[in-house]
Amino acid sequence: MSKGDLLLQKEYLGPSRIPALLSYVPDGKRKPLVILAPGGGNQNIDNSKERFSQTLPLEEDDFFKAYVDLPLHGERLAPDLGKRFWTDQVGLFLHPTVLGMAREFIQVIDILLQREEVDSDRVGVCGWSLGGQASLLAAGVDKRIKVAIGLSVPYDAEQGPRAPGPDSLAHLIMRTEMDILNLAPNMCPTAVLLIHGAKDAWVSVRSSRELYAALKPYYASCPDRLRYVEYPNMAHSISQADDDACAQEQKQLKEEVAGWLRRFL
């Protein structure tokens, strides 16, 4: 499918057949690769319109964009997704979704860097909510990722909707395997952008505030490569606006993300 000169191509990447919608202009130029992931809880995604709405649609034509599904979501929807969330949120829902997506980011990079349209020296990842958490985790272990963007990110066990008790196995998993701060020393010089809405009732804005403050010392030598933006009228959604003020901020969010990608890729 094409839109003008823009090519939209649905593919299933790698042995695990990761669903991806590839969007780029086939003009013979090597482009920065940007992988974009949705948040958790999305249901069936079987066409480009739905996949765009679940992620952050970038309108710029100078990127090679790959819109991907989370594990257990979208086309790979687990029939018991709701049950997983409410019975063992960490073990059956968060762990396979977030850690699985972080690993799949790396797989997708491996695969797409082989394409002649992609510039292997310019790779960025961007995700919303759990997709953003996975983006930052991937950036902490894969230095090919030059830009990592987290939108409304829950960075640790205390920021989710049902934080497990400190003596539980779930809490240990969150603290050891899924806490972005464990990878903070490895993050710099990756250009990290964090964005959060102050009215977010699902993931507290405190999450991004605290994550930014914790990352800041590691960027003392290159402070321009770490940025936090907070929008006073935006809630958890990055695409569905509650009012005109929120809609304007969501537009600014897209411009902020595109500007960050252009600056560092």
Assess contact for 152 and 235: CB atoms under 8 A: no
**pLDDT band for position 94 (50/70/90)?**
confident
Whether residue 152 has pLDDT greater than 70: yes
Where does the pLDDT of residue 32 fall: very low under 50, low under 70, confident under 90, or very high at 90 and above? very high
Q: What pLDDT shows up at residue 1?
A: 46
Residues 227-234, mean pLDDT to the nearest whole number? 97
Q: How confident is the model at residue 99 (pLDDT cuts 50, 70, 90)?
A: confident
pLDDT digits (tens, 9 = 90+) for 103-119: 999 999 999 999 999 99
pLDDT level of residue 174 (50, 70, 90 thresholds): low
CA distance 10 to 1: 9
pLDDT recorded at residue 13: 93
Q: What is the 3-state secondary structure (H, E, C) of 194-238?
A: EEEECCCCCCCCHHHHHHHHHHHHHHCCCHHHEEEEEECCCCCCC
Q: Which domains does the chain have, with CATH numbers?
A: 2-264 (3.40.50.1820)
Mean pLDDT in residue range 23-42 = 89
Q: Is the pLDDT of residue 42 over 50?
A: yes
> Which pLDDT does position 161 carry in this prediction?
44
Task: Please determine, for residue 93, whether its predicted confidence score (pLDDT) is greater than 80.
Answer: no
pLDDT digit string (tens) for 201-223?
Answer: 988 899 999 999 999 999 999 99
Half-sphere exposure of 46 (CA within 13 A, CB side): 3
CB atoms within 10 A of CB 214: 14
Cα distance between residue 156 and residue 171, in whole Å = 9
- Please name the residues in contact with 202: beta carbons below 8 A apart, sequence gap of 6 or more: 129, 152, 161, 235, 236
Helix (H, G, I), strand (E, B) or coil at 102: helix
Q: The pTM is what? A: 0.89
Q: What share of the chain has pLDDT > 90, as a percent?
A: 53
DSSP state of 26: -
Share of the chain above pLDDT 70, in %: 83
Task: Return d(Cα 259, Cα 265) in angstroms, integer.
Answer: 10
Q: Residue 159: phi, psi to the nearest 5?
A: -100, -10
Q: Please give the full DSSP string across 107-170, using - where no structure is assigned.
A: HHHHHHTTSTTEEEEEEEEEEETHHHHHHHHHHTT-TTEEEEEEES---STTSSTTPPPTTSHH
Paired strand residues for 67: 21, 36
List beta partners, residue 150: 127, 194
- The predicted pLDDT at position 86 comes to 79
